[in-house]
Structure 1
Amino acid sequence: MPVPGARLRPGPAATAADLRRAEFLTEQLGPNGELRRVRVAATAWRNGLAGLLLALTGFTLITGRSDVGQLARPAGIAAGLLLAASLTAGGAGAWLLLRAAHGVPRVLPANGPVDPVALDHEEALDALRDLRAGRLLVLLHTVLLAAAVATTWYGPAREDPVLRIRTDTQSVCGTPGAVRGDVLELKTPEGPLAVDLSRVTQLAAASSCPPAP
């Protein structure tokens, strides 16, 4: 609202520092200025994520277990959940980084004023949010994947089922092996043992063998 009697006077002349600051802001906020920098950073993170996945995949093939089915049940479930969470975080992070690097299609209004600087600034802010969230998800993916690999490698192994066999002369316990005719090869803590199946009086499956007397 105009003030009665007010007079407008020109301000002080711009200094060299003011001109340099204006040029800097124009360059930074100009067409594709800040947006280009965010896109470049997102592309670098996207490439880093791809390299990280390749490195971790190659490292897991070097040594250690490759099948969670070889783990005991609690460790196997934990490894599966960690791997699923890692893949979810990695997929979401990759999507956000791709969106930050390349943007998403948008429809501009056919009528009305369009400010390219404002549009670039808005798109740069959206890309920056995607980049920050994508980086966090990539780090979370790395931690979860490392935990899944460690659980697979160092978790307790699943014990093979054992048989408790009683014959007319002895009682033995061990892991069943090959069967040749009427003879069963039994792997016992004392070593391999041949059991004549025709002389078996009792046979039962067990989770473990009793301790040796």
Structure 2
Amino acid sequence: MSGSLRPGPLPATPADLLRARDRDHLLRTELTRVREAAVAWRNGLGALLAALIGFSLIKGRADIGQLSQGWAVGVGVALLAALIAGAVGALLLIRAAHGRPRIASADTVLPGRAADHMEALAAATMLRRGITLTLLCTAFLVAAVATTWYGPARHRPALRITTPAGTVCGSVVRVDRGTLVLRTADGEIATDLTTASAVQAVETCGG
């Protein structure tokens, strides 16, 4: 199908020419602007994570083995999710800032302005996804650290000791010259082991 271009019913006004010039300028610079925004977001989010981790603003217990088993597994899952989200988010931000490392086929190359526009759209999409995943990484890190601090601690093995004075059950605090000090629900209680008729290891003192 062929045709010819014809002038419109009215001549272009200075305002029309100004709008056309502005639109052309936006199209010519949109890829550069998206790239610059991606670099700024990448640097800013990287600095945020470095500050949170490097300056110990995010720091939990050194040993998650102190947590009960289910909560310790939850911390591990949160840390794994943070690692995956952070890695993918970083790759997307790098993709948005610097493009895809590939050489296009000569048969599929678009005209310069159209190619830049398509790349700008793709870079903007990668930028939004990268920001979202990086913030998710931070959220997972905070959740993992909060769990290490506020999750329930693993129950220590307890001893149930039977003496003529009665039965005492609690976790071991210390042993000193035949006297065993247990931490019980009523506080620390010292028990003379020489008078004990039975010593039994139990998981908990309940029941």
- For Structure 1 versus Structure 2, the TM-score category normalised by the shorter chain is 0.7 to 0.9
How far does residue 45 in structure 1 lie from its aligned partner after superposition? 1.6
Do structure 1's residue 24 and structure 2's residue 22 form an aligned pair? Answer: yes
Any gaps of 5 or more consecutive residues in structure 2? none
Deviation at 1:78, TM superposition (A): 2.0
* Cα drift, residue 76 of structure 1: 1.9
Q: Residue 93 of structure 2: which of 94, 97, 105 is its match?
A: 97
How far apart, in 2, do the equivalents of 1:102 and 1:195 lie? 73
Supply the AA of the counterpart residue of 1:52. Answer: L
Question: What pairs with 1:34-53 in structure 2 (closer than 5 Å)?
Answer: 34-53=30-49
- SS of residue in 2 equivalent to 1:175: strand
State the alpha-carbon separation in 2 of the partners of residues 151 and 77 from structure 1. 11
By how many angstroms is 1:99 displaced? 0.9
> What does 1:128-147 align with in structure 2 at a 5 Å threshold?
128-147=124-143
Q: Report the secondary structure of 2:170's partner residue.
A: strand
Aligned-partner residue type, residue 78 of structure 1? G
- Give the Cα separation in 2 of the matches to 1:94 and 1:150: 24
Q: Percent identity?
A: 46
TM-score (norm 2): 0.80
Alignment deviations for residues 88-118 of structure 1 (CA, whole Å, 9 cap, x no partner)? 2122111111111111122133468752212
Aligned to 1:191: 188
Change (3 A) 1:175 1:118: same
| Pairing 1:109–2:112 present | no
5+ residue gaps, structure 1? none
Cα 1:143/1:45, change in 2 over 3 Å: same
| Residues 1:10 and 2:7 are matched in the alignment | yes
Structure 2 Cα separation of the partners of residues 128 and 202 of structure 1: 72
**Offset from partner CA, 1:154-211 (integer Å, 9 cap, x none):** 1112221111233577533232355678x36432334253543x76543322122258
Residue 46 of structure 1 aligns to a residue in which SS? helix
3-state DSSP of counterpart to 1:105: coil
C-alpha contact (below 8 Å) 1:177/1:184 kept by paired residues = no
- Assess, with a 3 A threshold, how the Cα gap between structure 1 residues 113 and 122 changes in structure 2: closer, same or farther: closer
SS at match of 2:50: helix
With over 3 angstroms needed to count, the CA separation of the structure-2 counterparts of 1:109 and 1:83, relative to structure 1, is closer
Contact 1:166–1:172 (CA under 8 A) maintained in structure 2: yes
- Equivalent residues, number: 202
* Residue aligned with 2:33, SS: helix
How many Å separate the matches in 2 of 1:124 and 1:84? 32
| CA positional deviation for 1:34 | 0.9
